[in-house]
Amino acid sequence: MEALAAAFQMVFSVQTLVVMVLASLFGLFVGAVPGLTATMATALLVPITFFLPPIPAIAAMVTATAMAIFAGDIPGCLVRIPGTPASAAYVDETYRMTVKGHAETALGVSLVFSVIGGLFGTLVLILAAPALAAAALQFSSFEYFWLVLLGLTCAVFVSGDAPLKGMITLFLGLLLGCVGLENPAAHPRFTFDLPDLLSGVSLIPAMIGLFAVSEVLRFSLDANPLAPVSRQVGSVFRGMGAMMRRYPVQTLRGSSLGTVIGALPGAGADMAAWMSYAISRRFSREPEKFGTGHPEGLVEAGAANNSALAGAWIPALVFGIPGDSITAIVIGVLYMKNLNPGPTIFINNPSSIYAVFLLFIIANLLMLPLGWLCIKVAARLLRTPRNLLMPVILLFCVVGAFAINNSPFDLWILVAAGLLGWFLETHGFPIAPAILGMLLGTMLEEHFIRSMIKADGNLIAFVERPIAAGLALLVLVVWGVSAWLGWRRRRAIT
């Protein structure tokens, strides 16, 4: 009990609270600017944590990332440019809602259900961390292979009415993901002898190009460049109670899936958002509304990506194994502050663990007022006339693309991706699956090769382990059902 009291004292100190507010503003800014990711926010905070005592340092990182993941939804909703890869899964949906005049609903859903998802993930973290970590450790490369395959399948679901076009873009993304040295054989693929391509096509510049630059290009072809892009954003919280009553299953499902995916090392908020949105569409009672500006998918995916953040801490705290790229950085900070993660931390330093739990709860609650403030500011900023706004967005794109790797070559990737994205969109191809393909392609191959090496080339090994077999069955069922539904639809048309 004294540990809990000590935790309260550490968390509710002036220094911690001030740090949390400042970190929130930082996180909101980084999340809202396309090209700057939550992982980058965490990395940038590390030097600052040198000067802070342990709890404020962790407070800064937890708060900044929670805000950043939420804030990525804001530009996606208002100008169709996702701020972080996690928001790319449902950017079309949110933008459609804005066009229909429901921007405040989209943003409200995103905000409120991010908070709910984050709190749910924190609850799971508090109650079930050791048990979940033990289950997560059962996942080996075989299980991961099927999981990633499931994730890739979700990309096709997300593209809804044109699944074939979605598949084409997905394979394009997979092809782009092939480029470079980052394959199990370390053999340079499609590098054309360019040293810059050895590390492959960077995801962030490609994403900014595909979404943002293509959007700017589309604007430049628009006949009416002076119209302001977003309508008045009304009260963001109105109607949220009704949303919670209407979609309890989706909220729960999104939060649980997000927490589980976050808890799996290597899979983070991005994958959680994608899978959750696809699942929402697949199990919805109104699937035809998806893509027209329907909040159901947002409820689920918004909850999922924030709960994944909390879930990622489960293996991090219990084993010192990062659940995603953000926790990888945080673990480094934990070691630096003598809070060595692992089972002993629960015994030796319970007050610090309680403090971390408290920080998560406060950070998620802080999201409500600060996120609301951010929405108001962003809505005002984005209401400037588009002929002023778009060139500035273009400037942010080039700087953001450069900022990730400080590589001028990434700028060329930006240009190429922008042209490609514009071309794809004009012909009705969804861009989002390409991003997912790039994100997951390397993972899929790595787990496949690793599994094959472990199994000595024996393919049966992929279904020998129970969890792997279960996931494999799931993948086959999903493929089978989709194929059957597609065939039935074709029959109905002819």
Partner 1 sequence: MSALRRPAGSPLLRLWALSTVGALVGYVALVDRLGFIITAFLMLCSQFAAYRVRPALIVPVAAVSTLLVHAAFYKLLRVPLPWGLLSGWTW
Residues that bind partner 1 (CB under 8 A): 36, 44, 92, 99, 213, 216-218, 220-223, 225-226, 387-388, 390-392, 394-396, 398-399, 402-403, 406, 408, 411-412, 414-415, 418-419, 425-428, 430
N residues, the chain: 494
d(C-alpha 271, C-alpha 443), whole Å? 12
- Residue position matching structure tokens 């873009």: 169
Q: Which is nearer to partner 1, 36 or 379 (CB)?
A: 36
Least distance (Å) from partner 1 to the CB of residue 232?
20
- Residue 286 neighbours by CB under 8 Å, 6+ apart: 294, 296
| CA terminus-to-terminus distance, the chain | 70
List residues bridging with 180 in a β-sheet.
189
Q: Which is nearer to partner 1, 217 or 233 (CB)?
A: 217
**For 140, phi and psi rounded to 5 degrees?**
-110, -170
**Token pair recorded at residue 453:** 């090496």
Least distance (Å) from partner 1 to the CB of residue 391?
4
**Token pair recorded at residue 45:** 């905070």
Least distance (Å) from partner 1 to the CB of residue 366?
21
Alpha carbons within 13 angstroms on the beta-carbon side of residue 77 total 32
Least distance (Å) from partner 1 to the CB of residue 330?
19
Closest CA to 140 of 466, 437, 479, 473: 466
- Residue 434 neighbours by CB under 8 Å, 6+ apart: 169, 170, 172, 173, 176, 210, 424
- Residue position matching structure tokens 């960077």: 202
Q: Which is nearer to partner 1, 135 or 415 (CB)?
A: 415
Least distance (Å) from partner 1 to the CB of residue 93?
11
Q: Which is nearer to partner 1, 152 or 216 (CB)?
A: 216
d(C-alpha 32, C-alpha 110), whole Å? 13
- Residue 415 neighbours by CB under 8 Å, 6+ apart: 209, 213
Least distance (Å) from partner 1 to the CB of residue 136?
33
**Token pair recorded at residue 316:** 């991090």
Q: Which is nearer to partner 1, 220 or 348 (CB)?
A: 220
Answer yes or no: are the C-beta atoms of 461 and 142 closer than 8 Å: yes
Angle, vertex CA 112, rays to CA 106 and CA 116, nearest 5: 135
Q: What are the C-alpha distances in Å from 315 to residues 167, 170, 192, 264, 354?
A: 33, 30, 40, 8, 16
**Token pair recorded at residue 128:** 């079930």
d(C-alpha 85, C-alpha 277), whole Å? 14
Least distance (Å) from partner 1 to the CB of residue 131?
39
Q: Which is nearer to partner 1, 176 or 213 (CB)?
A: 213
Least distance (Å) from partner 1 to the CB of residue 48?
11
Least distance (Å) from partner 1 to the CB of residue 413?
10
SS3 367: helix
Q: Which is nearer to partner 1, 13 or 384 (CB)?
A: 384
Q: Which is nearer to partner 1, 119 or 398 (CB)?
A: 398
Q: Which is nearer to partner 1, 73 or 410 (CB)?
A: 410
Angle, vertex CA 352, rays to CA 347 and CA 356, nearest 5: 120
d(C-alpha 236, C-alpha 218), whole Å? 29
Least distance (Å) from partner 1 to the CB of residue 222?
6
Q: Which is nearer to partner 1, 359 or 390 (CB)?
A: 390
Q: Which is nearer to partner 1, 204 or 308 (CB)?
A: 204
- What would the DSSP string read from start to end of 287-314? GGGTTSS-HHHHHHHHHHHHHHHHHHHH
Least distance (Å) from partner 1 to the CB of residue 45?
11
